[in-house]
Structure 1
Amino acid sequence: MRAGEPRVTLVGRPGCHLCDEAKLVIERVTRELGESWEERSIDDNDELRAKYADQIPVTLVDGQRHDFWRVDEARLRAALQSPRR
């Protein structure tokens, strides 16, 4: 992972209620810790769709899968407080 890239990536799709819930947690935690994040849709990327279609929302931290279906706020916070992988 290169410096300047978002530490957290939310992989989901529009209209996914679990994705909306995950987004709220990610927004809150990254804002509090001063970290950046991005959202990517499996509808726009064949590779992401093939890899994660049955697991969305998927949360990646430093490019590695961290959680899927639900975001555990304490676990995400702990991962972001550790050095970049």
Structure 2
Amino acid sequence: MSIKMINIGFGNIVSANRIIAVISPESAPVKRIISEARDKGLLIDATYGRKTRAVIVTDSCHVILSAIQPETVANRFNPDTEGMEEQ
């Protein structure tokens, strides 16, 4: 089993094998997840002070905030599909 790393912006890298979900931060339930992770000490802010555009949930219950779009993070899982048109 090889370890695949995903760039989540500004030189921050996460193991793709540990990611459960990449979601948008706008909804109330996601904001609640972020707040609970902050209270438990499981929040990792990788935005460098910029607006949060993606929330990454890992299998270790850590929540990672990223300043790049969820679609961009998802596309980095399969770089071969980047730029391909739907048929």
TM over 0.5: no
Higher strand content, 1 or 2: 2
Larger Rg belongs to: 2
Task: State TM-score, norm by structure 2.
Answer: 0.29
- Bigger RCO of structures 1 and 2 (CA < 8 A, at least 6 apart): 1
Task: State TM-score, norm by structure 1.
Answer: 0.29
Higher helix content, 1 or 2: 1
